Structure 1
Amino acid sequence: MARPGTPRPDSSLLDDSDLLAVDRDALRPLAERMRPRTLDEMVGQRRLLAPGTALRTSIESGHVHSMVLWGPPGCGKTTLALLLAKYADADFRAISAVLSGLPDVRQVLAEAGHRFAEGRRTVLFVDEVHRFNKAQQDAFLPHIERGTILFVGATTENPSFELNSALLSRCRVHVMEAVSGDDIAVALQRALDDETHGLGGRGLRIAPEQLQVIASAADGDVRRGLTLLEIAAELAGESVAGETGTGDAEEGGGSPGTITDDILAQVLADRTRRFDKGGEQFYDQISALHKSVRSSNPDAALYWLARMLDGGCDPIYLARRMTRMAVEDIGLADPRALQMAIDAWDTYDRLGSPEGELALAQLVIYLASTAKSNAAYTAFKAAKRDVVEYGTQEVPLHLRNAPTKLMKSIGYGKDYRYDHDAEGGVALEQTGFPDAMGERVYYRPVERGMELKLKEKLDRLRADRTRAQRKLKDGE
């Protein structure tokens, strides 16, 4: 086949159809040319596809079922769907929920129906299936039930949230994982050795540690790793062509070249890690950040902050979430945390990126390092539950405002004691709750940070109030 940087085949030996096939193959990306043709060639996914596993056994026997493949980009969802069709001796059809509408779906299903009537099966692969709305997803249901199609949906989002229950009930969900760096390195080496579909025969030289760098930079995505390798190979070929003064390195007598550290630096410049704004990874990472702060682990919290900023998360969103952490998880154990969160938010708003990101970094370190208490958060939730349970309770007369003579005459404000005039500055014998509820305790300070002092004071006041109110009731 014709490969970039190599002479074209002698056209006298090929007919027009052969030349067209050669040209088409040369235009296909390396990742597409190196797509696995058997289950043994797939890298990663050992949990699902190791010899003897249920899914592999069903695929090899040709008895496959409709399924949803959930996993990150480049983990092999499309490849697995192709192999399903191959092992089942079925026709393969693919549509993308990004590009296709309901008319396209109906046409593909109609064609599958005709093949089914002729005794042939169809594996229908739906990429990005979570982008279909409910009506579009429902269109597959009767065809899955009748067996007209073997449905294979691919999604990077949590199917529980993105796919309707009717579709999920008819499919098995298989979770696919990001491919490890070592497994990606295996795929890269295979591409370097393959002379038919890969880069073999070009004499490319790359050190094992450099190959591992590319595998690591692929960030769990085999397709990305192969693309990076292909770009590096093209740059190595171009550098040789420039040195020999010809557009074709092999015809100029030079070797196809070495993938050097300089070439790798060019290829890997400005790469980004996997991050899906608003998707599953987004919520997983903000959860990891919040829980690291709650666990008083500033190092882990700082890592997740850096990950989210690196992935393009809006820093203002992170400032808002960390302000929430200051209120929910730190609370009155360290009231300074809330003000620091507001200050960091304001600092980023004034400085922007990257200078303002340091304020967010300082904030997350402080939040994770300081004393924690969710006592105020828990107390507020308990008070809200009582509001629902007890309904619209009347305000006790002694607590009501009495700005007019009429209000005073009907008892508004009667028997109210002004706390500043009471001994100790607190009128312990009067309640602050509706009569039907009695005294309630919502706020229970923890013995950490500033709440330790609050706990000592409130424990004493609550005990004194209980005694004073009991004494008043006994006197009545």
Structure 2
Amino acid sequence: MLNQSPLAERLRPTSLEELVGQSHLKGILKRAVSSGMVPSMVLWGPPGVGKTTIANIIANTAKMPFFSLSAINAGVKDIREVIAKAKYGAKSILFIDEIHRFNKSQQDALLAAVEKGQITLIGATTENPSFEVNAALLSRCQTYTLKALEKEELMMLVDKALRQDEFLSKENITIAEDQALLRLSGGDGRKLLNLLEVVIESIEGEEKVVTNDWVIEVAQQKAAMYDKDGEMHYDIISAFIKSIRGSDPNAAVYYLARMIEGGEDVKFIARRLLILASEDIGNANPTALVIANNAFQAVNVIGYPEARIILSQCVTYLACSAKSNAAYMAINRAQQLVQQTGDLSIPLDIRNAPTNLMKDLGYGKGYQYAHDHKGNFVMQEYLPDEIKGTALYDPKGNAREEEMRKRLHAQWKGKYGY
């Protein structure tokens, strides 16, 4: 097949009706386009779910001039050139892919033009914009979250490709098994279509039968060491985190090297270490969070290439640390309990009583100040009556949390299971 462009590009939708997935956003976007009041926005979601497509559709439907920049290779000069062009014509859309890769000065260069309405900014990011987009710029944009495609939506893309693509529709293709295609795509529509095309091209003969074994074999042959644009992004970070969680410093530093060599954003790596320090280590070693936070601050100041040393120190420390997910599980249980029970009444004795009326109603009455008692502890009920005695935090068996459990046992004398 002498294809001029990848399958995902050939099947790129030209209207919101054609877009597969993101049903929760279509109505909002249609109303914005039809009203002629397209807001500046940040589209946040995993790779291959339609961020670039949506930007193109909005521009085409609203008949607005469209400029596109990639944060990987664009600078302040490029931004100013686009803004200058937009000044002398109709209000334009500026689409910036991977906007999270812009530094503060690059993002600041957009502020005035967005605020004055010279351009409508559409930024695309795979990272949480609350962390990666300047607050001033983010406050001038609507943030829309895009979701990974579900199995049914991915299969709709496969069916569309076999029926409508100018090349594949002429082939005798049978999808005998789809599990490997779906699993390897990871909810990424672009990855799914491009993998499907590579698999079909690799099958000889007039009748092309797609099986799980063949998909896996082809995918392994085509796999790159690391694709910083998204192909193996989530597989590598998953292996990295699981190696640290599994206390294997060798595997952890290996996957760290894979990311560094692939050009991964240093802040992305450091932020994941911050999360892991609480989620997987927690009170088993509270210093882990301190080290992870210091590493995050340091790599932001240092940058590559020396940041690799700081990351390596942090990664090997976290991998060798005692582990506990007790704090993580505690907040999970607590949130689930809140969702199940709603806004339960706070016990009167621990309510705030800033006014005489509240005091007359019994607010704060009977509260016992822990520091007035031996050991800075007094047996008292703090949970609402409906859930009193519910255990949410369960210390693990590591040395530090075992000390916590012993202290809790001595104080609560069996309550909460301690």
Query: 2:53 & 2:171 partners in 1: Cα distance?
Result: 26
Q: Is the 8 A contact 2:10 2:165 kept in 1?
A: no
8 Å contact kept, 2:40–2:142: yes
Q: Displacement of 1:220 after TM fit?
A: 1.2
Q: What amino acid sits opposite 2:209 in the alignment?
A: T
1:277 deviation in Å? 7.5
1:36 aligns with 2:36: no
- Report deviation, 1:262: 4.1
Q: Is structure 2 residue 96 aligned with structure 1 residue 126?
A: yes
- After superposition, give the CA deviation of every residue in 1:414-470 in whole Å (9 maximum; x if it has no partner): xxxxxxxxxxxxxxxxxxxxxxx99984699x99876599559977xxxxxxxxxxx
Please give the alpha-carbon distance, in whole angstroms, between the structure 1 residues aligned to 2:65 and 2:405: 73
Distance 1:441 1:93, change over 3 A: same
Deviation digits for residues 261-286 of structure 1, max 9, x if unmatched? Answer: 442131233868652888xx99xx96
| One-letter amino acid of the structure 2 residue matched with residue 131 of structure 1 | R
> What is the 5 A alignment of 1:207-226?
207=176, 209-210=177-178, 212-226=179-193
Q: Distance in 1 between matches of 2:5 and 2:256?
A: 33
User: 1:153-172 residue pairs with structure 2 within 5 A?
Assistant: 153-172=123-142
Deviations along 1:285-316, one digit per CA (max 9) or x if unpaired, are 96x999xxxxxxxxxx88xx9xx97x94689x
**Residue 150 (structure 1) aligned with residue 127 (structure 2):** no
Query: Secondary structure at the residue paired with 1:123?
Result: strand
Q: Displacement of 1:27 after TM fit? A: 2.3
Say whether residues 1:206 and 2:175 are aligned partners: yes
Cα contact 1:447–1:455 (8 A) shared by 2: no
- Which amino acid in structure 1 is aligned with residue 182 of structure 2? A
Within the candidate set 269, 277, 280, 2:220 is matched to 269
Partners of 1:166 and 1:156 lie apart in 2 by: 20
1:165–1:259 CA distance, 2 compared to 1 (3 A)? same
Q: 1:115 aligns with which of 85, 89, 105?
A: 89
Partner residue in 2 for 1:350: none
Q: Distance in 2 between matches of 1:115 and 1:321?
A: 46
Structure 1 contact 191–199 (Cα < 8 Å) conserved: yes
CA offset digits 1:177-235 (Å, max 9, x no partner): 11112211111110111143x5211222222x32x431232001100001100101110
Structure 1 residue 186 and structure 2 residue 186: aligned?
A: no
Tell me, in whole angstroms, the C-alpha distance in 2 between the residues paired with 1:319 and 1:141. Answer: 31
Give the superposition deviation at 1:83: 0.5
Tell me the matched-pair count: 297
Q: Assess, with a 3 A threshold, how the Cα gap between structure 1 residues 202 and 166 changes in structure 2: closer, same or farther.
A: same
Give the whole-Å Cα distance in 2 for the aligned partners of 1:257 and 1:187: 18
- Does residue 97 (structure 1) correspond to residue 60 (structure 2)? The answer is no
Between the aligned partners of 1:326 and 1:179, the Cα distance in structure 2 is: 28
1:320/1:41 CA distance change after superposition, 3 Å: closer
Compared CA separation, residues 266 and 168, structure 1 to 2 (3 A): same
Task: From 44, 57, 60, give the equivalent of 2:31.
Answer: 57
User: Where does structure 2 lack aligned partners over 5 or more consecutive residues?
Assistant: 224-230, 259-269, 286-318, 331-370, 379-392, 412-418
> What secondary structure is seen at the aligned counterpart in 2 of 1:35?
coil
Letter aligned with residue 213 of structure 1 = A
1: CA distance, partners of 2:161 / 2:15: 15
What is the rounded CA distance, in whole Å, between the counterparts of 2:279 and 2:165 in structure 1? 56
Judged with a 3 Å threshold, the aligned counterparts in structure 2 of structure 1 residues 329 and 259 are, in CA distance, closer, same or farther, namely same
| Residue equivalent to 1:47 | 24
Letter in 2 for 1:153: G
Q: CA 1:148/1:192 → structure 2, altered by over 3 Å: closer, same or farther?
A: same
Query: Normalising by the residue count of structure 1, what TM-score does the alignment of the two structures yield?
Result: 0.52
1:73 is matched with which residue? 47
Aligned match of 2:283 = 329
Q: Is residue 233 from structure 1 mapped to residue 211 from structure 2 by the alignment?
A: no
CA distance in 1: counterparts of 2:280 and 2:32, whole angstroms: 51
- Contact 1:62-1:87 at 8 Å conserved across structures: no
Over 3 Å counting, the alpha-carbon distance change for 1:215 and 1:56 in structure 2 is: farther
**SS of 1:39 mapped into structure 2:** coil
The answer to whether the 8 A contact 1:43-1:186 is kept is: yes
**Which of 129, 138, 144 pairs up with 2:108?**
138
**C-alpha distance 261-275 of structure 1, shift in aligned 2 (>3 A):** closer
* TM-score, with length taken from structure 2: 0.59
**Cα distance change, pair 453–148 in 1 and its aligned pair in 2 (3 A):** closer
Kindly tell me: are residues 159 and 233 of structure 1, through their superposed partners in 2, closer, same or farther at Cα, counting changes over 3 Å? Answer: same
1:339-376 Cα distance to aligned partner (Å, 9 max, x none):
xxxxxxxxxxxxxxxxxxxxx89x86xx569xx99xxx
Question: Helix, strand or coil: the match of 1:41?
Answer: coil
AA in 2 matched with 1:102: V
The answer as to 2:216 corresponding to 1:257 is no
Q: How far apart in 1 are the matches of 2:194 and 2:157?
A: 12
Would you say the 8 A contact 2:180–2:212 is kept in 1?
Answer: no
Q: What letter matches 1:259 in structure 2?
A: V
Q: Deviations over 1:1-58 (max 9, x none)?
A: xx43xxxxxxxxxxxxxxxxxxxxx321111111111111111112112xxx333322
CA contact (8 A) 1:125 1:153 kept: yes
Matched to 2:122, the amino acid is V
Secondary structure of 1:99's counterpart equals coil
**8 Å contact 2:154–2:187 — kept in the other structure?**
yes
1:110 to partner: Cα distance: 1.2
Cα distance change of structure 1 residues 165 and 447 upon mapping to structure 2, 3 Å threshold = closer
CA distance in 1 between counterparts of 2:50 and 2:408 reads: 60
**1:45-104 CA deviation, whole Å, 9 max, x = no partner?**
12112xxx3333223444311101111111110000001101111121100111111111
Call closer, same or farther: CA 1:452–1:229 in 2, change over 3 Å.
closer
Q: Distance in 1 between matches of 2:72 and 2:394?
A: 54
- Cα distance in 1, alignment partners of residues 161 and 150 from structure 2: 17
SS at match of 1:140: helix
Go from structure 1 to structure 2 and tell me whether the alpha carbon gap of 1:277 and 1:66 turns closer, same or farther (over 3 Å shift): farther
Q: Structure 1 residues 182 and 138 mapped into 2: Cα distance closer, same or farther (>3 Å)?
A: same
